[in-house]
Amino acid sequence: ILFILSIPLFVALPITDTFDTMANWRILLAILFLVWFFKKGYIKKILKERFCCSLIIQIKSNLSKFVFIFLGIGVLSLMVATNQIVGIKKLLFLINIFLLFPIIRDLAKDERMRLKIIKAGAVVLIISLVMGYVQIISTMLSPLYNFWQWWANNVISVFYGNNLSELVKTSNTWFSYYPDSPPTLRMFSIFPDSHSFAMFIIIGLIFAVYLMLSRQQRNLGKTLIWAVIILSFLALISSGSRGVWLSAVFPFLTAVFLLIFKKQKIFKSFLIMLIIFALSFPVSSLILSQSHQNGDDATLAFKRAKSIADLEELSVKSRMGIWKASFRSILKYPLLGVGIGNYPIVLDEDISAAKKGASAHNLYLDVASEMGLLGLIALLLIFWEILRKFWKNKKEIYSLIFCFFYVWLLIYNLFDVVLLNDKVLLLFMIALGIAYANQELRIKNHEQISINQHSDL
């Protein structure tokens, strides 16, 4: 639980002057996994049986198989990589994070522990929101430039290291720019950019919405949770992440359709959330307009939303160019790509550009560019297996909520790669682990009921 609560607050370890970006969660999670692994007695099973046979026995689910295939393709792609060291680092990073999934999946089978984990996830959401709104208040009390430099020096350096701190002093995505208005802050909390913050909020809402819809909370608790949900949607608008706004359309329209035509009353809450989401646009604009003496312009968020369709807008135009370069690279290297972790090669940039955020701005294109079509197919199989499993079980409240925000996340992957942000992926592993534990517990209960009924006969 303490590990989960610490996710937004994990700091970078200053190992050397040139390597100060490794977060402390990597060591803590490795230790946590080893403790769990030994407590479960898996080491004894491995020693008693042949290692390979034991491993095959443990890999029972389709998800595990697809993940191993994905990682295996990543290893194969190292053969064609320009820089194999960077690729190995990315593989180790992914494996390190994936270790959290089996731990959560196992612990969450206990109902009390599962509720504690969900509540911890909601607290993590609140922590990130508090830091985000502190940013907004700060820009109302000081010039944007002062905030920018102070945050880069004193916050980013702690959580992400001095190298990133120096980079964001001159180049970042922390502000929205308008042709006829001064720039405004894009809320990003303690994340390196507003996109990863927005993705973190989407995943965090899984826990908050579950607590709101379940019968675990009393009236006062539900009121507080609704306040968190409202502030979360307001933060999503304040992040200025247009990909988040656009990718919300399909899941919300689906929820409204199921409510109106299928008479599924559970979706009333999603309709309320849609209304909150829509009302957050003018409210966010008014709040942001107070920073840097912009006046009371209630259209700032709408102006940014309108720019989604402006193909001449700089960020849209540059993203289109990156996508075209990615497609060309995939056609040139269709099987294994340019090698995992080597995406800057696609843009004819130095491999170090990855540290500056060089990516395809599309997770699917990013994976296909780095690991070829084989890697993309493996990734799609992973995503499809998760969606299939929990949509099939949508009558269970957590599975339904997970599916809603998961679809939102999948669509958002078309516009960015921030699912690979360490804090974002850690929180996703927690949400996914709970979903799988719920499913397994449900199956176990059904089997027990069947056994009891058979015994009675």
**For the chain, what's the residue count?**
457
DSSP track, 109-174: TSHHHHHHHHHHHHHHHHHHHHHHHHHHHHHHHS-HHHHHHHHIIIIIHHHH-HHHHHHHTT--S-
Containing 435, the helix (H) or strand (E) segment is helix 422-456
C-beta neighbour count of 455 within 10 angstroms: 7
Q: Is 176 helix (H, G, I), strand (E, B) or coil?
A: strand
DSSP letters, 306-336, are HGGG-TTSHHHHHHHHHHHHHHHHHHHSTTT
Q: What is the pTM of this model?
A: 0.90
pLDDT tens for the chain, 457 residues long, are 889 999 999 888 876 666 667 788 999 999 999 998 888 776 666 666 555 555 544 556 789 899 999 999 999 999 999 999 999 999 999 999 999 999 999 999 988 999 999 999 999 999 999 999 999 888 888 888 888 888 888 888 888 888 888 888 877 778 777 666 677 788 899 998 899 999 999 999 999 999 998 866 666 678 899 999 999 999 999 888 888 999 999 999 999 998 888 777 788 889 999 999 999 888 887 777 666 555 555 565 556 656 565 556 667 788 889 999 999 999 999 999 999 999 999 988 888 767 777 788 899 999 999 999 999 999 999 999 999 988 888 888 999 999 999 999 999 999 999 999 999 999 999 999 999 998 887 777 665 555 555 555 5
Q: Enter the tokens of residue 70.
A: 């994905």
- 23/164 Cα distance (integer angstroms): 13
Instruction: Report domain extents, the chain.
Output: 1-58, 60-109+324-456, 111-310
Residue with tokens 């965090």: 204
